[in-house]
């Protein structure tokens, strides 16, 4: 009986996610679900990406957090349309939350929608939102064992970002070993090494994202 209830909940979320996807497709918007553990640098990565896409693609953001609007304020300071979702304890954004937020954004003036998910490497991996692209960020200070500990997240993602490469000389992070595990889980994944602080590697990521968005 419990298994059936969980199945029904998942089916309901997937149905709403499909509705979200249709709405985005109708407006020509590519949605990017940004996932990572707390402190990996999701907001800084989004801000760097927005700066590099300025004048090329119009962007909007949905910010997901358990509480506060600290990150949304940073986006707002850039003059970028943003909606804050506070989950109040939920460890992931859900499709119905995204559906409500889409109505508050200028989708007609948006080409790329960044969805910053709640900081977590478990729950967001299995929650469809209606996104076109799934991205997971792993930062060098976290260690290189995250793909082994949270395989579903890395197996389900279209792109993996190794963030904070500026700190790599000062921490114990086996880049080659990390990539080997990720590619073993997901042979089609694209891996980018970036620094959201210095901007290194962001241009290469943006080039891929732009090409991917045009195909969506």
Residue ranges in the chain modelled with pLDDT below 50: 1-6
pTM: 0.94
Total structural domains within the chain: 1
Question: Residue 9 has what pLDDT?
Answer: 57
- Residue 50: which H helix or E strand, with range? helix 42-53
Place of tokens 């090409």: 211
- Phi and psi at 62, nearest 5°, equal -110, 120
Structural domain of residue 101, as residue ranges? 2-215
Instruction: Quote the tokens at residue 112.
Output: 């790329």
- The CATH number given to whatever domain includes residue 95 is 3.40.50.300
CA dist 92 → 30, 115, 129, 154, 198 (Å):
20, 11, 10, 16, 29
Question: Residue 1 has what pLDDT?
Answer: 37
Question: Residue 11 has what pLDDT?
Answer: 82
């Amino acid at each position: 009986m419990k298994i059936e209830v969980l199945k029904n909940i998942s089916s309901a979320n997937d149905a709403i996610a499909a509705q979200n996807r249709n709405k985005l497709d109708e407006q020509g918007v590519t949605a990017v679900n940004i996932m990572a553990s707390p402190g990996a640098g999701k907001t800084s990565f989004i801000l760097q990406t927005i700066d590099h896409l300025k004048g090329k693609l119009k962007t909007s953001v949905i910010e997901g957090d358990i509480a506060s609007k600290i990150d949304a304020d940073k986006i707002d300071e850039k003059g970028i349309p943003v909606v804050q979702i506070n989950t109040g304890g939920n460890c992931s954004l859900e499709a119905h939350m995204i559906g409500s937020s889409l109505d508050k954004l200028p989708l007609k003036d948006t080409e790329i929608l960044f969805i910053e998910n709640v900081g977590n490497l478990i729950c967001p991996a299995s929650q469809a939102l209606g996104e076109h692209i799934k991205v997971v960020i792993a930062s060098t200070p976290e260690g290189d064992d995250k793909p082994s500990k949270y395989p579903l997240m890395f197996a389900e993602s279209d792109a993996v970002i190794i963030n904070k490469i500026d700190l790599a000389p000062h921490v114990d992070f086996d880049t080659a070993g990390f990539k080997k595990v990720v590619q073993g889980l997901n042979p089609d994944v694209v891996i980018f090494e970036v620094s959201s602080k210095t901007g290194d590697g962001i241009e290469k990521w943006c080039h891929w994202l732009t090409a991917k968005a045009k195909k969506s």
